Structure 1
Amino acid sequence: MDTAADERLAERLAELRVERGWTLEELAQRADVSRSTLSRVERSEVSPTAALLGRLCAVYGRSMSRLLAEVEAAPARLVRAADQRIWRDEATGYVRRSVSPPHGSLRAEVIEGLLPAGADIAYDKPDDTGREHHLWVLDGLLSMTVDGTEHLLEAGDCLRFTAETSRFHCPGPTGARYALVVVEP
Structure 2
Amino acid sequence: MCAWMVLIGPAATGKSTLGEAVAAATGRRFVDVDALGAAYYAEVGWSMDRLRERIRAVGRVAAEREWEPARAHAVERVVAEHPDAVIAFGAGHGQYTRPDLRERVREALRPVEHVVLVVPSPDPDQSVRVLRERSIATKGTDWITGDGHDFLHEWVHDAGTRELATTVLHTEGESPAESAGRLLDEVIRIRPSPCPGTPPG
| TM-score between both structures, scaled by the size of structure 1 | 0.28
| TM-score between both structures, scaled by the size of structure 2 | 0.27
Larger helix fraction of residues:
2
